[in-house]
Amino acid sequence: MFHTFYQNNDPLTAQGLLPKHGSRYLVHNPPQPNLTAEELDKIYALDFARDVHPFYRKQGKVRAMETIKFSITSHRGCYGECNFCSIGLHEGKTVISRSEKSIINEVRKLVALPDFKGYIHDVGGSTANMYGFECQKKQTNGACKNNPPTNSDFYAASFNLFRSYVFYSNRSVQRKENNCRKNDE
């Protein structure tokens, strides 16, 4: 049953499933359409608190915040289909990347935080470095059944993004350091 469910997880080609279990039926609806890059940009433009919810703060320190507070999600989804991983099931098999402008805007917000120490822990997604890497045929025809995508522009897109946020981060850190020196004088 899992294999059927997994193969029926593409928003363009999936159909509703109605498997019977005992005397009952399980309704499995097709997934929603993938977000567009513009929709993903709008989500990350929201004013997130980047802090632990007060309910959980009462229970003590949440160590995961040390890792994610100064991290940036550049994309969602995964085409990898690794047998040990379920990212493709819950984020989709199509990699949707945010625009460079959206990511740089988030970098600006991060470096303005009072506890920013000068470095961003991670820029990527749950699938590491798949930024800007997606098969255009999949966007209209759905996921290929047996062929993982290949794209020679993959590293170029990742490198351009990396160069942009490193340049911006370094300039912001230098400004903060200069302001600290002026305040010390």
Q: What is the pLDDT of residue 172?
A: 52
182 C-beta neighbours (distance < 10 Å), count: 8
Q: What is the pLDDT of residue 148?
A: 53
Spatial CA neighbour of 106 closest among 156, 152, 155, 172: 172
The count of C-alpha atoms lying within 13 angstroms of the C-alpha of 126, restricted to the half-sphere facing its C-beta, is 18
- pLDDT tier at 145, thresholds 50, 70, 90: low
**Which of 21-25, 64-68, 146-150 has maximum average pLDDT?**
21-25
- pLDDT tier at 173, thresholds 50, 70, 90: very low
Q: What is the pLDDT of residue 156?
A: 56
Q: How many residues does the chain have?
A: 185
* Domain segments of the chain as ranges: 1-33, 34-184
pLDDT digits (tens, 9 = 90+) for 72-91: 999 998 877 777 888 888 88
Q: What is the pLDDT of residue 147?
A: 56
Q: What is the pLDDT of residue 180?
A: 47
Output the CA–CA distances (angstroms, integers) from residue 163 to 91, 132, 168, in the order listed. Answer: 27, 14, 9
Cβ pair 65, 52 in contact under 8 A? yes
Q: Which residue has the tokens 């350091």?
A: 177
- pLDDT tier at 135, thresholds 50, 70, 90: confident
Which residues is 97 bridged to in the sheet?
75
Give the SS3 label for residue 116: coil
